[in-house]
């Protein structure tokens, strides 16, 4: 049976903060990605993780020519390899703008070998689709893993066409979860979340304003930020997908035709939506 998610899932209440806290209680997220020409994708995910409340955020870049994000100097930038020596993060997300080079393959191998909760998106998914040994490593991970494919990435992972995925999205989400033994968020209008316990949900928030570059990077950052703050990974996926869509729905109140929402602006709208939702239920 499929659950329709029409409001912020109750699990989000766990994000409310007590008075006596410190940053170490809200997780340390490491983003792996950002090869030449696509460092923006990794920075978008990292900025989102920070602004949605994660305690600390590292960005391990494959193209390490930049060492600071001047708009968000709170982010700690380094070479991708340095994230693993020593590993200080508590949560990993990988693939945004990572490319499919030998270096990307090696970094993805480190991610899969780690025992941390892991979100894989974009090129990490393309690498997995192309390398059977990574598929084996993925299936054998003892810790939670979430794959967040858009329909074309899902098609690559299943060895089928985008049209076939779109024709029966629940079947595709189910097949992905079975094949890779992971939680799945199959993106696109009405994003489906299939968790390894067999629960399938369809998200009802969001609209065509999200059809712009980088919106998947912000979604990945939201989800891992929520997970780092204590939500179980599948819950973080359901809450995160809803918030991401809600951000775009709020955009329509000032931009009724839904044009021109940048991924950077989605971050602020999602942050507002989360804060207001948690405050309203106090």
Ligand X SMILES: NC(=O)C1=CN([C@@H]2O[C@H](COP(=O)(O)OP(=O)(O)OC[C@H]3O[C@@H](n4cnc5c(N)ncnc54)[C@H](OP(=O)(O)O)[C@@H]3O)[C@@H](O)[C@H]2O)[C@@H](O)CC1
Q: Judged by CB under 6 A, which stretch of 1-9, 90-98, 228-236, 251-259 contacts ligand X?
A: 90-98
Minimum CB distance to ligand ADP, residue 47 (Å): 13
Helix (H, G, I), strand (E, B) or coil at 117: coil
Enumerate binding residues for ligand ADP (CB under 6 A). Answer: 122, 150, 187-189, 191, 206-208, 210-211, 213-217, 219, 244
Q: Which residues, at least 6 apart from 180, have a Cβ–Cβ distance to it below 8 Å?
A: 128, 135, 138, 139, 145, 147, 157
**Residue 113 engages ligand X in binding (rule: CB under 6 A):** no
131 assigned binding-site residue: no
Shortest gap between Cβ of 10 and ligand ADP (angstroms)?
Answer: 22
Q: Among candidates 66, 138, 123, 57, which has minimal Cα distance to 90? A: 57
- Toward ligand ADP, which CB reaches closer, 161 or 211? 211
- CB contact at 8 A, 240 and 202: no
191 binds, among ligand ADP, ligand X, none (CB under 5 to 8 A by kind): ligand ADP
Q: Is 160 in the site for ligand X (CB under 6 A)?
A: no
Residue nearest to ligand ADP (CB): 216
188 marked as part of a ligand binding site: yes
Task: State how far the Cα of 95 lies from the Cα of 135, in Å rounded to an integer.
Answer: 15
Written as six digits, the tokens of 119 are 């979100």
Task: Answer for the pair 79, 61: CB distance below 8 angstroms, yes or no.
Answer: yes
Ligand-binding site membership of 109 (annotated)? no
The answer to whether 69 contacts ligand X (rule: CB under 6 A) is no
Binding piece for ligand X, criterion CB under 6 A, among 2-10, 22-30, 96-104, 221-229: 96-104
Q: Which of 165, 150, 191, 197 is nearest to 178 (CA)?
A: 197
């Amino acid at each position: 049976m499929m659950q329709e998610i029409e409001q912020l899932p109750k699990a989000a209440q766990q994000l409310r903060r007590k008075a006596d806290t410190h940053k170490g209680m809200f997780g340390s997220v490491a983003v792996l990605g950002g090869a030449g020409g696509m460092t923006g994708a990794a920075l978008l995910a990292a900025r989102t993780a920070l602004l949605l409340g994660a305690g600390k955020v590292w960005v391990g870049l494959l193209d390490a020519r930049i060492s600071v994000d001047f708009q968000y100097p709170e982010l700690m930038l380094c070479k991708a390899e340095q994230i693993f020596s020593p590993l200080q993060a508590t949560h990993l997300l990988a693939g945004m703008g990572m490319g499919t080079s030998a270096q990307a393959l090696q970094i993805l191998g480190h991610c899969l070998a780690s025992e941390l909760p892991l979100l894989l998106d974009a090129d990490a998914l393309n690498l997995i689709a192309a390398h059977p040994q990574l598929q084996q490593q993925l299936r054998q991970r003892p810790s939670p893993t979430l794959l967040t494919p858009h329909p074309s990435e899902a098609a690559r992972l299943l060895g089928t066409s985008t049209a076939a995925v779109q024709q029966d999205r629940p079947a595709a989400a189910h097949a992905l979860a079975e094949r890779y033994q992971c939680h799945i968020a199959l993106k696109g209008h009405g994003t489906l979340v299939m968790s390894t316990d067999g629960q399938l949900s369809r998200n009802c928030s969001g609209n065509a304003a999200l059809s712009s570059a980088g919106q998947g990077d912000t979604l990945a950052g939201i989800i891992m930020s929520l997970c780092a703050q204590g939500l179980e990974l599948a819950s973080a996926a359901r809450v995160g997908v809803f918030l991401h869509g809600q951000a775009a729905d709020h955009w329509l109140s000032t931009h009724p035709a839904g044009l021109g929402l940048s991924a950077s602006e989605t971050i602020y709208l999602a942050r507002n939506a989360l804060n207001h939702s948690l405050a309203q239920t106090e």
